């Protein structure tokens, strides 16, 4: 069979053609605001049978009926409760499917043998026009091969259905991106069977109490029967195994940074993409924009099948709003393999030498915080036989002394007069330091990354607050002289070699000025700042 592609925006007649195919029992791919559907005449058992064949879908998995408006409920459903009309008034057309008792006219083929039927009024002008032209309820599951991610473009649907169906109507990219929310109105309290494009909170506004079916949050075991039969099947799964990581966005990013190896697949919030330049990345959307995440989740899952990745890590949004649906799709794709990275705040501390970072860190520890000394980590990684040491030697030749320590002068000669070489060296260092530092904060509810290159290394992205410790230059010079027992000229040179205060003022979220006369006084000041920041961040994350 040749699958035709219709472009209704170019040719209005294709609407009538699609309707005609449906009326004579054929299969048509239809655009909706959620995902593309694989439509047929929902009252024609023979036509419906072909949907199951084309998708490779188990026969016991019912289809939903797409109708023109709430007036059609009476035609196909018995005992329609007032709640159904209240929901329709508020949310139809839109991403909401209601489970109601079926009338005889709806064949058991459509309902997978159930006495109930799912009813939905989609919000897409093209499909609404097709329903009106066909004057039929269109039975339509998502237009993917059973088990694969749902299609959100006509092209995705063609990947799965080319040669199996009569036509696909191209209505552009789906604006919602995850399937409709399914609410069962045949039980009390009404029960959420599948989270989707309409948030649970919106349903609760109209219905009051809503029960959430177990299948939404956990894997069904073999003997269990979820109320939406489709929820028991493996779903949305790319070929490579998926690990979903929950927790605050920064925490889940840190968790993934600590595990993802070069060439692994990563689905991350947009802000964290720079941390994964060594991976195959698909962005989910900004951490705070769940609507964008819903639009991208299936494309991201689908895109990995064109790559060679052997494992995929995915950051998971929190459950509020559309996050419940996005997280559910990711978790189903992962077979509910979920890791929780926690929510505690992560701080970053930076600033030039001699400004008083050590006192500030002591204050943080006094408050029960865990400090990661990134300079110590760096020195631990810097040996001739470590991966970082090997990478440095491959790039710059032998720069280690026979005793295994770095020949600073030799390496310095290679990089300090050559900006590109220095950039290359830093890239090697940061690539090894990041996963190590990220691993260190995992499991500590209150952590602080202490790093002189906090912002340049990318570590700052993992911190909810980045605090710079600054002090007047003369004070720093005097402190270094006393601390390190060096002369004034050399101390001055070291201070001059570091980033100017302006750099920190521009890039950090908070500045801690050390103008105190005694270290004790400054430590107190630092404690006050940290106490305030911890409180703000704990309420916020």
Task: Annotate 460-527 with three-state secondary structure.
Answer: HHHCCEEEEEECCHHHHHHHHHHHHCCCHHHHHHHHHCCCCHHHHHHHCCEEEECCCCCHHHHHHHHH
Per-residue contact track with ligand TXA, 190 to 229, x per CB under 6 A? Answer: ---xx--------------------------------xxx
Provide the 3-class DSSP secondary structure of residue 394.
helix
Nearer Cβ to Mg ion, position 299 or 537?
A: 299
Nearer Cβ to ligand TXA, position 230 or 369?
A: 230
Residue number with the smallest Cβ distance to ligand TXA = 230
**Selected binder of ligand TXA within 6, 22, 26, 34 (CB under 6 A):** 34
Question: Which residues have CB under 8 Å from 394's CB, separation 6+?
Answer: none
Per-residue contact track with ligand TXA, 364 to 383, x per CB under 6 A? Answer: --------------------
Closest distance to ligand TXA from the beta carbon of 138 (Å): 9
Bridge partners (DSSP) of residue 66 are 120, 138
Binding partner of 99, given ligand TXA, Mg ion, none, CB within 5-8 angstroms per partner class: ligand TXA
| Contacts to Mg ion from residues 121-180, by CB under 5 A | 142
- 146 is an interface residue for ligand TXA by CB under 6 A: no
The full length of the chain comes to: 541
Interface segment toward ligand TXA; rule CB under 6 A; list 33-41, 263-271, 377-385, 512-520 = 33-41
- 180 is an interface residue for ligand TXA by CB under 6 A: yes
Closest distance to ligand TXA from the beta carbon of 6 (Å): 17
Q: Are the C-beta atoms of 65 and 137 separated by less than 8 Å? A: yes
| Contacts to ligand TXA from residues 224-283, by CB under 6 A | 227-231
Binding partner of 229, given Mg ion, ligand TXA, none, CB within 5-8 angstroms per partner class: ligand TXA
Q: How far is CA 122 from CA 133, 137, 143, in A?
A: 15, 11, 15
- 110 is an interface residue for ligand TXA by CB under 6 A: no
Closest distance to ligand TXA from the beta carbon of 154 (Å): 13
Q: Are strands 191-194 and 211-212 parallel, antiparallel or unpaired?
A: parallel
Nearer Cβ to ligand TXA, position 59 or 405?
A: 59
Q: Which of 524-531's residues contact partners 24+ apart within 8 Å by CB, and which partners?
A: 524/363, 526/356, 526/359, 526/360, 526/363, 526/364, 526/469, 527/363, 527/366, 527/367, 529/467, 530/347, 530/360, 530/363, 530/364, 530/367, 530/369, 531/367
Where on the chain is the footprint of ligand TXA (CB under 6 A)? 32, 34-35, 37, 61-64, 97, 99, 111, 114, 116-118, 120, 122, 140-142, 179-180, 182, 193-194, 227-231
Where on the chain is the footprint of Mg ion (CB under 5 A)? 142
């Amino acid at each position: 069979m040749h699958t035709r592609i219709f472009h209704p925006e170019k040719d209005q007649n294709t609407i009538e053609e699609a309707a005609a195919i449906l009326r004579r029992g054929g299969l048509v791919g239809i655009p909706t605001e959620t995902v593309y559907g694989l439509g047929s005449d929902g009252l024609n058992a023979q036509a419906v049978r072909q949907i199951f064949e084309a998708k490779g879908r188990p026969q016991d998995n019912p289809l939903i009926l797409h109708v023109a408006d709430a007036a059609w409920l009476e035609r196909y459903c018995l005992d329609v409760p007032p709640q159904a009309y209240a929901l329709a008034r508020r949310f139809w057309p839109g991403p909401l499917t209601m489970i109601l008792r079926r009338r005889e006219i709806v064949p058991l083929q459509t309902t997978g043998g159930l006495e109930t039927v799912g009813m939905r009024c989609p919000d897409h002008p093209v499909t609404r026009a097709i329903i009106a032209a066909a004057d039929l309820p269109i039975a339509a599951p998502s237009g993917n091969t059973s088990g694969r991610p749902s299609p959100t473009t006509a092209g995705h649907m063609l990947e799965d259905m080319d040669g199996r169906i009569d036509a696909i109507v191209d209505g552009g990219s789906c604006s919602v991106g995850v399937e409709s929310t399914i609410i069962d109105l045949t039980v009390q309290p009404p029960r959420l069977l599948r989270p989707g494009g309409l948030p649970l909170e919106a349903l609760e506004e109209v219905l009051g109490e809503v029960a959430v079916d177990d299948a939404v949050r956990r894997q069904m075991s073999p003997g269990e029967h979820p109320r939406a039969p489709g929820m028991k099947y493996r779903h949305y799964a790319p070929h490579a195994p998926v690990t979903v990581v929950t927790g605050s966005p920064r925490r889940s990013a840190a968790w993934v940074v600590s595990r993802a190896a070069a060439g692994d697949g990563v689905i991350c919030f947009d802000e964290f993409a720079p941390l994964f330049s060594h991976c195959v990345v698909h962005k989910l959307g900004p951490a705070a924009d769940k609507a964008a995440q819903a639009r991208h989740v299936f494309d991201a899952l689908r895109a990995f099948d064109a790559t060679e990745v052997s494992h995929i890590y995915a950051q998971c949004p929190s459950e509020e709003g559309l996050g419940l649906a996005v997280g559910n799709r990711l978790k189903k794709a992962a077979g509910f393999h979920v890791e929780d990275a926690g929510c505690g705040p992560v701080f970053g501390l930076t600033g030039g030498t001699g400004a008083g970072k050590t006192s500030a860190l002591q204050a943080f520890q006094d408050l029960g915080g865990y400090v990661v000394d990134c300079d110590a980590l760096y020195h631990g990684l810097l040996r001739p036989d470590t991966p970082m040491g090997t990478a440095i030697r491959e790039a710059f030749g032998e720069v280690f002394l026979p005793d295994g320590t770095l020949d600073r002068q030799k390496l310095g000669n290679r990089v300090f007069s050559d900006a590109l070489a220095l950039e290359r060296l830093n890239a090697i260092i940061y690539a090894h330091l990041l996963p190590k530092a990220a691993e260190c904060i995992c499991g500590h509810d209150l952590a602080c990354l202490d790093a002189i290159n906090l912002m340049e290394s990318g570590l700052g992205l993992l911190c909810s607050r980045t605090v710079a410790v600054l002090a007047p230059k003369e004070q720093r010079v005097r402190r270094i002289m006393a601390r390190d027992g060096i002369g004034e000229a050399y101390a001055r040179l070291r201070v001059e070699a570091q980033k100017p205060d302006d750099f920190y003022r521009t890039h950090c979220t908070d500045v801690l000025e050390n103008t105190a006369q005694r270290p004790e006084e400054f430590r107190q000041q630092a404690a006050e700042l940290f106490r305030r920041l911890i409180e703000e961040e704990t309420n916020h994350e």
